[in-house]
Amino acid sequence: MSQWKPRYYDIGVNFSDSMFQGYYNGSQNQKHPCDVEAVIDRAHLFNVKKMLITASTIKESSDHFKLCELYSNQFYSTAGVHPCSVANEFYENETTPLKNVDMKLEELTEIVREGYKLNHIKAFGEIGLDYDRLHYSTKDQQITMFKKQLDILKNLDFKLPLFLHMRAACDDFVEIIKPYIDEGIIPEGFGVVHSFTGTEQELQKILDLGFYIGINGCSLKTEENLQVASKIPIDKLMIETDSPWCEIRKSHASYKYITPYPNTFYPEIESSPQKNLEKSTFKLDDKLPFPSIKKENYQKHSIYVNENATEDSELRFGILSKPMIKSRNEPAEVGQVAEVLCKLHNITEPKEIEKFIDTVFENSLKLFN
């Protein structure tokens, strides 16, 4: 029998974010070239078998087709307008919708149809409510456009799972979405509430709707977060990075549960990093065998690699490999989320760990097939 290896499905990746193109904090000064391919390679090296890139606007919903084609069979996409984006997408001002709202919704509907036909789109979203960030979109704007986007489902001749956002808005979220479930427009459990940060009571309300729960670093910041995460049934659990955001930081309550490579969640790769470069000014990441550098030092690292690489140098990982960028999350780190959740569920035996990882992977396959 072949040796068991973990399989991960990162259900939340923002590859259209400018950070992956080398632009940070709204600056037009590119810190490094587009490194999406290197990010994908690192993910594959550590068994991230599938990824779902999430759309926040109509333009992203369409633009992701190009990404799906450019990186064929590397990942799939969603289509929808994020609650924090609905004001810019659909409104002239706080109370006045754009005159072409219906046209925009029809455009989104056609993107969904085309993406489904091309097998690019695997979920409708990211849609929902976010009352933590009302400076982007008001409650009324979010509620109105959540309903209007859910109404799109009535006009589709196929069923598409939902990729849902719910932040500090559980009661309104349940009140809005439950009738669609009761009427059969949304099959029970046919979606995931991603990046869940709610209370134990809110968790139960979401589980009562049958939805899966997506967990990332933002879901694991505090001891209260960890307590809630430990209550998620494993058959309703999914993992994600929401990269380039939502990393597990050293300040997070969950950080203490992460162990360095190699371990069960990150099996040792055949061959080993360069030992003759240990005195390099560049350092490996604390948990993974890749250089971790500040974005400003990307060019310096490239020069260092050119000066030190030889024909037999190992370039997939180790100090000469393509670097991770400090404070920028990426899909290769999704195994850390799995490790934290496994420990929160008090799973310690090797076979039980394997079963846990396999179940979480299969949950995602089941929904986003």
Q: What is the pLDDT of residues 47-62, one digit of tens each?
A: 999 999 999 999 999 9
pLDDT at 309: 92
Q: Above pLDDT 90, what percent of the chain?
A: 93
Buried/exposed 161-187: b ≥16 CB within 10 Å, e otherwise:
bbbbbbbebbebbbebbeebbeeebbe
pLDDT at 369: 87
Look-up of token digits 């598409």 = 160
CA angle centred on 337, ends 293 and 31, rounded to 5°: 25
Domains of the chain, first to last: 8-255+334-367 (3.20.20.140)
**N-terminal to C-terminal alpha carbon distance within the chain:** 27
pLDDT at 266: 98
Check pLDDT > 70 for residue 1: no
pLDDT at 312: 87
Residue 7 structure tokens: 């399989």
Quick one: the chain helix, strand, coil %, rounded to 5?
Answer: 40, 15, 45
Q: Above pLDDT 70, what percent of the chain?
A: 98
Residue 189 structure tokens: 């459990």
What DSSP line would sit under 3-62, residue for residue?
PP---EEEEEE-TTSGGGGT--TT-SS-SS---HHHHHHHHHHTTEEEEEEPP-SHHHHH
Q: What is the pLDDT of residues 290-305, one digit of tens each?
A: 999 999 999 999 999 9
Buried/exposed 302-320: b ≥16 CB within 10 Å, e otherwise:
eebbeeeeeeeebebbbbb
Check pLDDT > 60 for residue 274: no
Check pLDDT > 90 for residue 250: yes
Residue 294 structure tokens: 């500040």
Q: What is the pLDDT of residues 73-110, one digit of tens each?
A: 889 999 999 999 999 999 999 999 999 999 999 999 99
Confidence of residue 271 (pLDDT cuts 50, 70, 90): confident
More confident residue, 278 or 219: 219
Look-up of token digits 């396999």 = 358
Confidence of residue 278 (pLDDT cuts 50, 70, 90): low
Cα dihedral across residues 232, 234, 238, 243: positive or negative: positive
Residue length of the chain: 369
CA angle centred on 345, ends 54 and 171, rounded to 5°: 50
- Please give the model's pTM, rounded to 2 decimal places: 0.97
Q: What is the pLDDT of residues 208-237, one digit of tens each?
A: 999 999 999 999 999 999 999 999 999 999
Q: What is the pLDDT of residues 313-325, one digit of tens each?
A: 889 999 999 999 9
Cα 304 to Cα 302: distance, rounded to the nearest angstrom: 5
**Mean predicted lDDT score pLDDT of the chain:** 96
Look-up of token digits 């999406």 = 36
pLDDT at 73: 84
Which of 262, 222, 208, 218 shows the shortest CA–CA distance to 241? 218
- Within a 10 A sphere around the Cβ of 5, how many other Cβ atoms? 12
Beta bridge partners of 13: 53, 243
Q: What is the pLDDT of residues 335-348, one digit of tens each?
A: 999 999 999 999 99
Check pLDDT > 60 for residue 273: no
